[in-house]
Structures are given as C-alpha cells and as structure tokens.
Structure 1
Amino acid sequence: MMRRNRTKHKLIFIGLVLAFTVAYNEFFAYEIQSFKWATRDCSDCVKVLLVADPQILGEKNENYIGAWLARWDNDQYLKKTFTRALRHSQPHAIAFLGDLMDEGHIAPPEYFQRYKERFDDIFYTPEHIMKIYLPGDNDIGGEEDMVSSRIHSRFKFSYSQPDTLSLNSVTFFKVNRLTHSMSQAPKDAFLNDYAERNTTNVILSHIPLLFTPGSFVQNIIFTAHEHRAMHISLDTATDQLSEIWILPPYKTLLYQFRMDMGDIHELQIPTCSYRMGTPYMGYGLAYIDTQEKIVEFTILWLPGRFPQLLLYLFILVSVIIFSLKLISGCGCCVGNSRPTYNRLSTQ
C-alpha cells in the first residue's frame, strides 16, 4: 500500500510539473514580459504601434514532417504577443512595415488567400484603429528576385489604401524602395518650412532609407527589413549620418527625439517573429506629439520562444526517464513480492 501511494504521489508530481511548464510557456511568460514594457500618458499625441517582418510561414518551404505544427506554433506566438502589445499600447494607428508573409512573392492565388486569412486572424484589430500596410521583399519580391508587377498589384488589391494617410495632425507617407516609388505627397511636403506647420511627417518604408538618403527633411522614419532595433540620425546641415546605434535588447526605455532640431531620425523596428534567426524580437511603439514636435519611442521586447521549446524538450525527456525508472522500480517490486515456498520436512 505504501509503495502504491508513493507511485501515486510521483505521478501527481509529474502532472504538476507538466501543467506548470505549459502554463508558464503559454501564458505567464507573455504576461510577465508585458509588465516590463514602458508606457506614458498620451492625451494629445498620436500613438502608433509598429509591426515589422512577421513573415508568417508558408506551405512550400515549410514542407517537412511536422511543418503544420511549426506553422501553427509560430502563428500562436505572433497572436499572443500582438494581442498583448495591442492591449498595452491602445494605439491610434498600426503600421505593418512589410514582409507580412514569408512566401507571399511565390504563392499561387489560393495559397496567398490562405496566408492572408491567417494574417488577418493573427493580427485582428478593431475597426476604429487605422491600419497601414506596406509590402516587403517577401511579399512582392525585390531582394533575390525581381519585383513582379502582377504580385505587387495583388498585394495592393488585397490591402487597398492610399499611399498617403492622415490621422489628426500626423501625415503618413509610404515609401517603396523595392519599386522605387514614393507617395504622391504635396510638392511642398518635404521642404524645410513644412516643419513649421502644425503637422508631423512620418515616413514608412520596409527598406532602410538613411544609408542612401533622399529628399527627406525634418521627419521621423520607421523602417524594418534588418530584423533588429536601430537608431540612425542624419544631420541635415552637413548631410552626414551623425549617429548610428543599436537599441539594447530588453532595455524598456523611452527614447525622445525632437523634430525641430534639424535632424532626421530613422528607427528600425525588430522582427516580431521568432523564426527570423534573431533571439531579440519586439514591436515598436511611438508617441507623436505634433504640438511639441517630439516623438517618444520604445521597443516592446518579446519573450524568446526557442528557450520555451527547449524547456518543453528538457521536461519531456526528464519525464520519460523518470517514468521508465518508475515502471522499472514497480516491476522489481512486483517480482520481489511473489511468495516463496519451502519444502516441508517429512520427518
């Protein structure tokens, strides 16, 4: 009876370990990380949540055994993190900075439609929030292959919206370096005196811009593609890059940039997908104050998924070993518990 109780207690312990591991990996890790994110009161500013390189996995390249599980797990990771970023930021606008899909540029129509449905489900957003969509090289081509006009047209049709959008006193301009096109902005939109007006220009591009600068004056630029968090500034007086630095991972700081000091600031947003070969994922969050000409910016860093998967593997192997020892021990007990008989003496 005592051996049976000990076995029962060990099985309960195994169950509790498994339950705690699942609860931590699938819920508590995300909640704990979200408590570390920076925030500020923003009654008069425009809040913009920036999503870079989600690259939801496709069905052509991900065609190995168990690929469906990898796609499902990556979708769930994106959905969990985006839901919490949305809840935390309460944004007025969300900018998707390209590479929405990993295989959008090679997807047949029926595959593309499935990818879009998955994307819209993962990044479900209430209707009152403005959504801005930019294509990346994985959506329309342009990095390892040429941009397909047909694929580009398909993307524009699926995410139909103008290239210039306004929200309160913020004007968003899309720049597509892949197709060498720029928003049809007013002719004076990027002149020096434009900054004196009660508006703020926000340039959105998938490909970084300031390493090959163009006619952008006194603006804030948000880009993606590089899968890392970086700040680049250009001194318009000398037309030289004045600062380049990588934002430290997991430092939940609010960075402040002035738009009236003669500098152009580009902020590169890291990928939000754990499948992009970097351990540091996150979303960007910008607070744009058009009255004070100030942009405050932070990265909403995300928990790593691969350490969670490794924890699952470790726990699974440990449970299997523990269970085998338990079964082996019970077998020995059963073998030793058989009664033995001695021949009685007849004398």
Structure 2
Amino acid sequence: MKYNGNIDRTWLKIFLSVFLLAYFINEHLVYFIQSYRWPTFPDIHRHPEKYQVLLLVGDPQIQGYQDENIFPIGTLSRWDIDRYLRKTFSYAYDYTKPDVIVFLGDLFDEGSKASRFEYSETFNRFSYIFHETKHTKTIYIPGDNDIGGEGRDFQTQRKIERYEQHFGNMTEIIKFGFIDYVKIHIQSHALTEDKVAAAERLRHKQTSKYTLLLNHQTFMMGPKHFVYPIIKRLHPKLILSAHWHKAEMYTCLDCLRDDEYSWTVSRQDVSFINTFLDLDLSSQHSMFELAAPTCSYRMGVVNIGYMVVILGENGSLQFTVLWLPRRYTMLLGYVVTLLVFLIAFCMNKCGTRRR
C-alpha cells in the first residue's frame, strides 16, 4: 500500500508548527513570564550618593573545553549555557538598572587550568555574555576555579597574574559614592600573615561611610581565629560572598565589638525569598553577610538566580533574589514534544495500514 504524500506533508507541517510553538515558549515566553514574577522594585531616589543598587553575579562558571563532552555535544552545551546566561543577565540588568555589578568569583569553570588559547576564548565569550558590564561600574573577585586553591588544584603566581591581567587586582579598595568596596581573597582555613598585612594596608585607605567586604567563599562561618583579624582591621558592615551556589544570610549582632570573645553568628537559608527583605546597617556592632546563589543551571542546584542589594546612605538595606527559569525542565519540554509527536504519528500510520 502506498502512502499519500499529502498526508506526510501534513504531518510535517504539524510537527514544524508544534516545534515552533515549543521554541517560542521555551526561548522567549518563559523568560518574559519569569521576569514578571520578580518582586516590585522599591521606590527609591536613584543616586549613587544616596542609594546604590548592586547586581550580584555568583558562580557563572563559564563552561570550558577540557571537561566537556567531545564535539558536537560539548559545543552545543557551551552554546546553550552561554545563551541562557546572556538572556537572563539582560533581563536582570534591565530590571535593576544597577549602579554596580559585582561578580563574586568562579567566573570561569576551567580558569585555573585552561590553556592560553582556551582562556582567551572563554574570556571573549564572557565579555559577550555580560556585555552590559561595558556600560556599568563592575567589580570582579576571583574564585578557586579562577586561580586554584581547592583540592589538588594549587594556586600559583602564574594563575594569579593571568586573572589580574583580565579582571584587575585581587586585593584593593574601590571607592564609589559612600561605599568602600574591599576586595581581599581569603580561603577557608588559610589565613596568612600576608593577608593580615594586606588588610592592615587597606585599613589606612578606608574613607567612606560603609565598608563592603567582597570574598568568594563565605566568611563569617569560618573559624574565628582567622576571621577576626580581618574583621578587626576592616570593620565591614556587609560581606558579599558566593561559592556554595545557595542563597544564604549570616547575621552577627556583636561581631564588631572590641571584645573579640563575643561572636554569635546565625545562618538563614533564603532560597525561597520572593520579595525584598530589609536589614539595618546603622547599628554600631552588627554585621551581615549575604551569599549569592549561582546563576548557572550547570551547577547542579535547582534554585538559581541573581541577587539584588539596595544600600542606602542612611544604613538601610534591601535585598532579594531574581530567580531564573529551570533550563533542564525547558529542555525536557523539547523531548516530550518530540515523543508525543512521534507517538501520534506512529499511531496514525498504524491506523492507516489497518484501513
């Protein structure tokens, strides 16, 4: 029995229509709907001398070339995560219109071990994905994936020099408005005399009303014997970190007292925050740390997003997380669409043969 070519063309048109609908939903509509689920932005006087809006980017970990699958899977994987990050960051940027963008480390997934060519290619992709950084004040700090330091991936001077060549100094104060942004790379259980000396040098350069300490790894939950020497010298009111890929808040109401034996830190999971939360930095002895979640769906966690912090000159602080759509669910939608179509097509063919 010969099949009618018109019927096959009809099924092809149906498939293309369904696929285009799935593509429109997954690649456009989902992002648009998710952005409308973000909380209403607070009504503030937008001026860096009164309020500063910070957009925090945690662990983007741009995928490299050594640990990915061979062509074409690896190429498709890099292409898809790059598109996802570029699209979601653009939505977050348009929503916040930030005064400062802060990248909280692990910028590249293979930054520590990439060849010269791989590093250059990844940097070009990074610049393309986060192209809005060209128009906004941006601060970068390194993570262990960028310069080593975790497990057997040792930190070396060559890795540090390559990072600083592309993203600026690892240790410095960046002054903007009423805030001193302090960059000082300290790893867990690894405080050295050089880091204490660096903190002492930075202390003499502090002039702004508030100090924000930027570090890739969470700071306040570390052993006190290496946390306190830094805190004592810099007196940060707020610490921004990432590393664990989860949104968390750490609070200490007496960490800035002269009594170094007083140290009570509470930890709060904010993975389900859906509005702006308020904090007060005006208290003399209190200190807070906000850990930003990862923004990459490749990190193996469900809740991913960009953290937003609004800091007022009067000590007010508001923050939230702009949660992002679940890319693996979207990719699964393509598979389900294809399977449903194939089942319907096969059932129709079988019914035609019986007739």
Query: Normalization by structure 2: what TM-score?
Result: 0.84
1:245-294 C-alpha deviation (Å, 9 max, x unpaired):
10032x3211111112221100000000000010110101111101x111
Cα drift, residue 307 of structure 1: 0.7
| Alpha-carbon separation, structure 2, partners of 1:99 and 1:267 | 17
Q: Where do residues 315-330 of structure 1 align in structure 2 (5 Å cutoff)?
A: 315-330=337-352
Cα drift, residue 63 of structure 1: 2.9
Picking from 211, 218, 221, the partner of 1:211 is 221
Larger radius of gyration: 1
Q: Would you say how many aligned residue pairs link Structure 1 and Structure 2?
A: 322
Tell me which moved more, 226-235 or 38-47.
38-47
1:78-135 C-alpha deviation (Å, 9 max, x unpaired):
1111010001000011000100000000011111000100111001115441010111
Which secondary structure state, in structure 2, belongs to the residue aligned with residue 151 of structure 1? helix
Picking from 218, 237, 252, the partner of 1:234 is 252
Could you tell me whether the CA contact under 8 Å between 1:228 and 1:280 is conserved in 2?
Answer: yes
Over 3 Å counting, the alpha-carbon distance change for 1:107 and 1:159 in structure 2 is same
Picking from 50, 57, 75, the partner of 1:51 is 57
1:271 aligns with 2:294: yes
Which secondary structure state, in structure 2, belongs to the residue aligned with residue 26 of structure 1? helix
1:154 aligns with 2:155: no
1:187-217 C-alpha deviation (Å, 9 max, x unpaired):
384xxxx8xxx62211111011001233433
Picking from 165, 168, 175, the partner of 2:174 is 165
1:111 aligns with 2:118: yes
Q: Report the residue type matching 1:321 in the other structure.
A: I
1:309 aligns with 2:327: no
Could you tell me whether the CA contact under 8 Å between 1:232 and 1:241 is conserved in 2?
Answer: no
Equivalence for 2:142: 135
Could you tell me whether the CA contact under 8 Å between 1:42 and 1:287 is conserved in 2?
Answer: no
Query: Normalization by structure 1: what TM-score?
Result: 0.86
1:141-169 C-alpha deviation (Å, 9 max, x unpaired):
01112211101111001112572111111
Which secondary structure state, in structure 2, belongs to the residue aligned with residue 221 of structure 1? strand
Cα drift, residue 60 of structure 1: 0.3
Q: Where do residues 326-337 of structure 1 align in structure 2 (5 Å cutoff)?
A: 326-331=348-353
Over 3 Å counting, the alpha-carbon distance change for 1:64 and 1:188 in structure 2 is closer
RMSD over aligned CA atoms reads: 2.3
Q: Report the residue type matching 1:165 in the other structure.
A: I
Over 3 Å counting, the alpha-carbon distance change for 1:306 and 1:271 in structure 2 is same
Picking from 182, 185, 188, the partner of 2:202 is 185
Equivalence for 1:122: 129
Q: Report the residue type matching 1:148 in the other structure.
A: T
For structure 1, the 5+ residue unaligned runs are 334-347
Cα drift, residue 309 of structure 1: 1.0
Which secondary structure state, in structure 1, belongs to the residue aligned with residue 184 of structure 2? strand
| Alpha-carbon separation, structure 2, partners of 1:230 and 1:124 | 28
Over 3 Å counting, the alpha-carbon distance change for 1:277 and 1:17 in structure 2 is same
Could you tell me whether the CA contact under 8 Å between 1:230 and 1:268 is conserved in 2?
Answer: yes
Equivalence for 2:29: 28
Equivalence for 1:91: 98
Which secondary structure state, in structure 2, belongs to the residue aligned with residue 165 of structure 1? strand
Which secondary structure state, in structure 1, belongs to the residue aligned with residue 84 of structure 2? helix
Could you tell me whether the CA contact under 8 Å between 2:182 and 2:214 is conserved in 1?
Answer: yes
Equivalence for 1:256: 278
Over 3 Å counting, the alpha-carbon distance change for 1:188 and 1:114 in structure 2 is closer
For structure 2, the 5+ residue unaligned runs are none
Which secondary structure state, in structure 2, belongs to the residue aligned with residue 57 of structure 1? coil
Over 3 Å counting, the alpha-carbon distance change for 1:27 and 1:5 in structure 2 is same
Could you tell me whether the CA contact under 8 Å between 1:218 and 1:259 is conserved in 2?
Answer: no
Could you tell me whether the CA contact under 8 Å between 2:53 and 2:309 is conserved in 1?
Answer: yes
Cα drift, residue 51 of structure 1: 0.2
Q: Report the residue type matching 1:227 in the other structure.
A: H
| Alpha-carbon separation, structure 2, partners of 1:176 and 1:160 | 13
